[in-house]
């Protein structure tokens, strides 16, 4: 079994990881590191469940080969509150998810966090783009989008 070693920063800690070359980031997180908050379904970018932040941008963990992780900074849902920028996880849970959780909520939290890291005041199209492919047919998509808009307003009030 061909293994490779990479050094990366995961949830604020510098670590070295050894894993078979064919593994992707999602497998490493869930199977080797026990960070099962990043959900997945062993597919290839088809379910929108495995969002993580790679160097501050949201990416599907299942589509990143393990060997591409050298010198990157990865933040998963377990470490999301180490990023102090607005909004924190509790706020996303209360305003966007309306205090409900499901199998997909971690992915929505990551998408919203990534959106606010990328754009200070995201517009309607930015919000829809960030959430596209993540919301499921049975999600209250209107409620979620309204929740994100509320966060945008909160941020703009704080800035003032």
Partner 1 sequence: MINFVSDIYPEGTLYGITVRSPISKGRIVSIKIPKLPKGYFVVSADSIPGSRTINTHPKTCIARPWLAEGNVNYKGEAVLLMAGPDRNTLSYLSMKVSIKYKKEKAILNTVNAETVEEYLCRTAIRRRGNIDSAFKNAYQIVEEEYSTGAQRQFHEEPQAAVSVWNGTRLLIISNTQDPFGVQLAVSEMLRLPKKKIRVLVPPVERAESELLKYAGDEREAEVNSNVETICFNPGFNGRLMDSVVVAGHSALLSFVTGKPVRMVYSAEEDFMYAAKRYPVIARYKTALDEGGIPKAIKAEIVMDAGAYTDGAEEIFERILTMAAGSYGFPNAEITGKLVKTDRIPFGVSVGSGTPQAFLGIELHSARLAEISQLDPYIWKKKFLIENKGILPSGARLPDYKGAEFVLDSVVEKSDFRRKYAAYETLKKRRTALSDTAGPLRGIGLGLCFQGMNNDKDNDPRKYSLRMKLARDENIIVYSTFQNLELMRAVVLSAAGNKLGLKNVNVSAAGIDTDTVPDTGPAKPLIESVLIPRLVNECISAVQKKRFNSPLPIEVKKVHRIPAVLKKQIDTKTATTFSSVSWAAVVTEVELDPLSFEVLIRGVWVAVDGFMGGGTDISAGENSRCIKATERGVRQDIVIGLNLAAGRGIKFESGGIIEKNIIQNRGYMGILPYIDISFVKNEMHSEKNTGFVRTGVHGLSVAAVAPAYVSAVSQATGFYPNHLPVTPLTIQEYLESS
The residues of the shown chain that bind partner 1, judged by CB under 8 A, are 1, 11-12, 20, 22-23, 27, 30-31, 34, 36-37, 39, 41-43, 46-48, 77-82, 88-90, 93-94, 98-106, 128, 131-138, 140-142, 145
CA distance 29 to 83: 19
Tell me whether residue 98 or residue 119 sits nearer to partner 1 (CB atom).
98
Tell me whether residue 41 or residue 153 sits nearer to partner 1 (CB atom).
41
At closest approach, how far in Å is the CB of 54 from partner 1?
A: 18
Sequence-separated (6 or more) residues with CB below 8 Å from residue 115: 58, 122, 126, 127, 130, 148
Neighbouring C-alpha atoms within 13 Å toward the C-beta of 94 = 5
CA distance 114 to 152: 13
Sequence-separated (6 or more) residues with CB below 8 Å from residue 35: 29, 76, 78
At closest approach, how far in Å is the CB of 62 from partner 1?
A: 10
Tell me whether residue 150 or residue 160 sits nearer to partner 1 (CB atom).
150
Tell me whether residue 69 or residue 127 sits nearer to partner 1 (CB atom).
127
At closest approach, how far in Å is the CB of 78 from partner 1?
A: 6
At closest approach, how far in Å is the CB of 45 from partner 1?
A: 10
CA distance 106 to 112: 10
């Amino acid at each position: 079994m061909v293994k490779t070693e990479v050094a990366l920063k995961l949830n604020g800690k510098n670590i070295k990881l050894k894993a078979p070359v064919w593994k992707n980031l999602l497998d490493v997180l869930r199977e080797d590191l026990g960070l099962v908050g990043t959900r997945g379904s062993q597919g290839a970018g088809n379910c929108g469940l495995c969002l993580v932040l790679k160097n501050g941008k949201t990416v599907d963990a299942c589509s990143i080969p393990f060997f591409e992780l050298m010198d990157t900074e990865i933040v998963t849902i377990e470490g999301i509150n180490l990023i102090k920028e607005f909004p924190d996880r509790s706020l996303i849970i209360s305003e966007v998810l309306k205090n409900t959780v499901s199998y997909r909520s971690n992915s929505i939290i990551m998408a919203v966090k990534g959106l606010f890291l990328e754009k200070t005041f995201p517009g309607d199209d930015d919000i829809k783009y960030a959430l596209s492919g993540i919301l499921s047919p049975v999600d209250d998509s209107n409620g979620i989008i309204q929740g994100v808009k509320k966060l945008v307003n909160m941020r703009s009030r704080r800035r003032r």
